Amino acid sequence: MAQVSEIKAFVRGRAGTGGARATRREAKVPAIIYGAGRAPESVAIGSNELANVMNRGRFLSSLVDLDIDGTKVRVIPREVQVDPVQDVPLHVDFQRVSPGARIRVNVPVRFINEAASPGLKRGGVLNIVRHEIEVTCPAEAIPDHFEFSLAGLEIGRSLHISAITLPEGVRPTILNRDFTVATIAGHRTEEEGVPGAEAAVAGEGAAPVAEGGEPAPAGDAKAPAGGGKAPAGKEAAKPAAKAPEKGKK
């Protein structure tokens, strides 16, 4: 079962944008608590305390006990707004978790036995389709992670959700198909060049070809002596005219 963190929270007197800015100036993060059929409640959390809990990882899939002026409320974080420049949390949404309730949560995926995969040994690449799997489960029994074994997998093989046995009470949100979690893809070799490149290289320096597919004689490619142009067409086939002989008309 996932570990439950505890964070001290304070009731916020002012809501809205102005109240949120005033809270941040006090080195606190504004937050809201909703769900369980009760009205939303605005609270504030210490920035450093929140950062320590978030740095443990899996913040959005872990239960949190908020200590609000001595009263503990069990919640699960649903959304964190982060400053795009300073990368610090600006606002947190918490959902109340009632005892015995089922919740929807994303559980991370891990892979083991990579050395026992023939496909990876032959140069294949592990292509992870889903880094997390969304499931519904009891709030008190959120899995830490799902573990998939790569032993025996060849290139072209896939791992599906059916490859593991889910804990009792845990069901994936996708129920109508055995979806893929990862595949072993083949390694693309560097010898695969641009299409047509080999043909272009092979054509360099080839002898000219005459009509009918026969190679043209080597002499045909040369220009005639004297720098003149080679005769072309029917005129090239006519014999030169003879000069008239003396004494004959």
**Judgement on whether residues 112 and 165 belong to the same structural domain of the protein:** yes
Does residue 226 belong to any structural domain of this protein?
A: no
**Judgement on whether residues 82 and 112 belong to the same structural domain of the protein:** no
Does residue 46 belong to any structural domain of this protein?
A: yes
> For 187-245, what is each residue's pLDDT tens digit?
754 444 445 544 444 454 444 544 454 555 544 444 444 444 444 444 444 455 555 55
**Judgement on whether residues 84 and 157 belong to the same structural domain of the protein:** no
86 compared with 235, residue with greater pLDDT: 86
Q: What is the pLDDT of residue 125?
A: 95
**Judgement on whether residues 74 and 144 belong to the same structural domain of the protein:** no
Residues 6+ apart with CB under 8 A from 230: 223, 224, 236
Does residue 44 belong to any structural domain of this protein?
A: yes
* Backbone phi and psi for residue 61, each to the nearest 5 degrees, phi listed first: -125, 25
Domain hosting residue 143, numbered range: 103-185
User: Structural domain tally of the chain?
Assistant: 2
211 compared with 168, residue with greater pLDDT: 168
**Judgement on whether residues 90 and 12 belong to the same structural domain of the protein:** yes
131 compared with 215, residue with greater pLDDT: 131
**Judgement on whether residues 124 and 176 belong to the same structural domain of the protein:** yes
Q: What is the pLDDT of residue 242?
A: 52
Has residue 170 got a pLDDT over 80?
A: yes
Does residue 229 belong to any structural domain of this protein?
A: no
> For 47-79, what is each residue's pLDDT tens digit?
999 999 999 888 999 999 999 988 999 999 999
**Judgement on whether residues 120 and 169 belong to the same structural domain of the protein:** yes
19 compared with 234, residue with greater pLDDT: 19
For the chain, the distance separating the N- and C-terminal CA atoms, rounded to the nearest angstrom, is 126
**Judgement on whether residues 73 and 136 belong to the same structural domain of the protein:** no
Domain final residue, candidates 165, 185, 205: 185
Does residue 127 belong to any structural domain of this protein?
A: yes
Domain final residue, candidates 31, 65, 97: 97
Q: Of all residues in the chain, what percent carry a pLDDT higher than 90? A: 61
Q: Of all residues in the chain, what percent carry a pLDDT higher than 70? A: 74
| The dihedral sign for the CA sequence 213, 219, 222, 224 | negative
Q: What is the pLDDT of residue 155?
A: 95
CA triplet 83, 97, 43: central angle to 5 degrees?
45
Q: What is the mean pLDDT of residues 93-119?
A: 94
Does residue 85 belong to any structural domain of this protein?
A: yes
CATH number at residue 79: 2.40.240.10
Cα distances (Å, whole numbers) of residue 207 to 190, 215, 222: 31, 7, 13
Q: What is the pLDDT of residue 197?
A: 46
**Judgement on whether residues 14 and 69 belong to the same structural domain of the protein:** yes
Share the mean pLDDT of the chain. 81
